[in-house]
A and B are shown apart, each in its own frame.
Chain A
């Protein structure tokens, strides 16, 4: 009997077609292709924006035109975005013309494996433009409403709560911050507006999942969360299911304001299809003794650029970024954190873990700024990268600008590889190569996954399994 051991072991087969499905959808109302002043007027008219928003959008549009692409420091791939080919506004409530039968079999199986309820699958597959989650959403709304919490869409927020909305909107992230925050300012729609009154501690996490499903928007989301003095709130955005995408550019802006002694946790789990540019600006303003924590997981997309930040404006404020990025074949995850210590005795913590698979590139880009006259500021930064096979790349740019003698910064970085001996060991125990890889990756991010709310951490593990196993079924 011929006895041979195959020398060429196949690479882990990663099937990016999971999540990369799209088909033509008829939208009855849209702003057409491309962007100009007329597009913005159209959006304002359809959304019945007040005049100050119209002015805000037009100002954003001008800044968008003025600002250069940030290709001087980021990837040249940005030059491949063709702004004239993008639809900037699609009316909500329109019905795509596809049926469940048209949804690819692999996708149905993916839903099955992720354990997504029947109703939600149809929405995620783009079969139903509106997912009937109003009931769940109303329950949350009713529960928090009793405490005086406002939890509505950004449009409703600016219409019905202008006194709070106007005070903070665009204040944490000015339109001129970067080209994409300017673009978002010009064409934003969707996103959440949350206000938590003083001293109110919201017990249950507020989930955008329900609300956004009800509205079917997400391309240029604009979210504003204000936690008044001594209040606490956790907000969760996104879901782990691969989401049907018609648009290739996603550019959200998220602003958080934590007033004295308030706490905000913002949790994101995103799994974009691999044609998407995901260019997001997220920043929080932490007043005295306030705490802002970003918990962020980025999977998929062609290019993600996202550096959640905290400006610690008041004495004793704390900022934290916990992030996981997974860059699969052909993807670039350019993520990081910005910590601005603008007051004494402020503390920040950044823990970032990235996984690069195949030709995937993961970049950590950090900024920690502690001016020389500050006292008692502390920062801890940890970046760990895991490489899976030799094509993978990881870069770390931890810019730590700490001056003065009474501040402390600590930075640790590591790069590790899943090696063949580890895989062999796990395979010898009966796990397939894919299972072994996925176990190793889950192990790598395990301590961070625990930071996610329970239901997300379970989904996250399943999602990593799917990414690692590649094919479904």
Chain B
């Protein structure tokens, strides 16, 4: 059981962004991808989720042995168990968080089965309490007028309601102060389980103090160039990314 990225190449327009990514996240593990801006980290996340702007030119991504690309629409992949916590979550004016999540949970039920409203709210409130989200949150429109911290907490709330098999967290630490970072990290840690894999994309080592990864990968120019344990993140922090791009000189 794993999320297995195999020699993945992808373009946006004529420009090649991913140049052969290989990476395997077994269920139950947390892997981090670190890299400079523009290295292709966020592109990888969007491609796996099925963003329409990118063209996959080669390779594959298998989720528990099934190719993501056999599922053409992003929603099929989502319902199959892939979750992406967005770096910039979108605002949906007029749609409350409660209604949005209800629709998303309903979409996962078998045809003809109706979500029981009382059960749903009980579950929602339980998970909101765990993330220290006030009840008033449910009646606010999705991400509309949210602070950076609220947006990220809302992403984690969605993840905890939708219970994915594999979750990709794209720069979840950006825009968070230290208190929000702790709450979000606790939320993620609470969701760690033997059956669930995480791919955490981040720019800074700081997040990995709170969400301790099993493995750290470094991405440079559309490829994974180095992998190691959690200490690799600290080494990167100390030596900078240039140390990775010129390993022969190190």
Per-residue CB contact flags for chain A residues 395-435 toward chain B (1 = under 8 Å, else 0) read: 00000000000000000000000001110111111111101
Instruction: Take A4-B56, A430-B79 as given contacts and tell me if A424 and B51 are in contact as well, using a CB distance cutoff of 8 Å.
Output: yes
Residues of B within 8 A of A435 (CB): 75, 103, 107
Contact B75 A422 (CB under 8 A): no
Residues of A within 8 A of B162 (CB): 429-430
Instruction: Take A424-B52, A429-B100 as given contacts and tell me if A443 and B93 are in contact as well, using a CB distance cutoff of 8 Å.
Output: yes
Contact B90 A421 (CB under 8 A): yes
**Which residues of B, 64-101, contact A by the 8 Å Cβ criterion?**
67, 69, 72-75, 78-79, 83-84, 86, 89-95, 99-101
Besides the known contacts A442-B94, A447-B94, 13 further A-B residue pairs in the complex with CB atoms under 8 A apart: A1-B60, A1-B67, A5-B54, A5-B55, A5-B56, A7-B52, A9-B52, A427-B50, A428-B83, A428-B84, A430-B75, A431-B107, A440-B95
Q: Which residues of A contact B (CB under 8 A)?
A: 1-7, 9, 420-422, 424-433, 435-436, 439-440, 442-447
What secondary structure prevails in chain A residues at the interface with B?
helix
CB distance from A183 to the nearest CB of B (A): 39
**Which residues of B, 24-76, contact A by the 8 Å Cβ criterion?**
47, 49-61, 67, 69, 72-75
Is B108 engaged at the interface, CB distance under 8 Å to the other chain? yes
Instruction: Take A429-B78, A435-B103, A443-B92 as given contacts and tell me if A3 and B52 are in contact as well, using a CB distance cutoff of 8 Å.
Output: no
Residues of B within 8 A of A442 (CB): 94-95
Residues of A within 8 A of B108 (CB): 430
Contact A431 B104 (CB under 8 A): yes
Q: Which residues of B contact A (CB under 8 A)?
A: 8, 47, 49-61, 67, 69, 72-75, 78-79, 83-84, 86, 89-95, 99-101, 103-104, 107-108, 141, 158, 162
Q: Give Cα distance in the complex from A446 to B140, angstroms.
A: 12
> 10 nearest interchain CB pairs?
A443-B94, A443-B95, A446-B94, A427-B74, A425-B90, A429-B104, A430-B78, A3-B69, A427-B75, A430-B107
Least CB separation from A422: chain B residue: B90
CB distance from A371 to the nearest CB of B (A): 37
Q: Give Cα distance in the complex from A188 to B55, angstroms.
A: 60
What secondary structure prevails in chain B residues at the interface with A?
mixed
Residues of A within 8 A of B61 (CB): 3
Residues of A within 8 A of B84 (CB): 428
Residues of A within 8 A of B90 (CB): 421-422, 424-426
Contact A428 B74 (CB under 8 A): yes
Residues of B within 8 A of A426 (CB): 90, 92, 100
Instruction: Take A432-B107, A443-B94 as given contacts and tell me if A3 and B100 are in contact as well, using a CB distance cutoff of 8 Å.
Output: no
Could you list 8 A-B pairs, sorted by A, with CB under 8 Å? A4-B56, A5-B69, A424-B52, A426-B92, A430-B78, A432-B75, A436-B75, A444-B93
Q: CB within 8 A of A5: which of B50, B58, B93?
A: B50
Residues of B within 8 A of A446 (CB): 94-95
Contact B58 A3 (CB under 8 A): yes
Q: Give Cα distance in the complex from A7 to B90, angstroms.
A: 22
Q: CB within 8 A of B92: which of A433, A440, A445?
A: A440
Contact B55 A4 (CB under 8 A): yes
Contact A4 B103 (CB under 8 A): no
Residues of B within 8 A of A5 (CB): 47, 50, 52, 54-56, 69, 72
Contact A427 B92 (CB under 8 A): no
Residues of B within 8 A of A421 (CB): 90
Least CB separation from B75: chain A residue: A427
Residues of A within 8 A of B103 (CB): 431, 435, 439
CB distance from B65 to the nearest CB of A (A): 12
Least CB separation from A5: chain B residue: B56
Q: Give Cα distance in the complex from A7 to B55, angstroms.
A: 7
Residues of B within 8 A of A425 (CB): 86, 89-90, 92
Least CB separation from A438: chain B residue: B103
Contact A431 B75 (CB under 8 A): yes
Residues of B within 8 A of A433 (CB): 73, 75
Instruction: Take A5-B50, A435-B107, A444-B93 as given contacts and tell me if A424 and B55 are in contact as well, using a CB distance cutoff of 8 Å.
Output: no
Least CB separation from A449: chain B residue: B94
CB distance from B11 to the nearest CB of A (A): 10
Residues of A within 8 A of B55 (CB): 4-5, 7
Q: Give Cα distance in the complex from A5 to B69, angstroms.
A: 7
Q: Give Cα distance in the complex from A426 to B95, angstroms.
A: 11
Q: Give Cα distance in the complex from A431 to B84, angstroms.
A: 14
Contact A429 B158 (CB under 8 A): yes
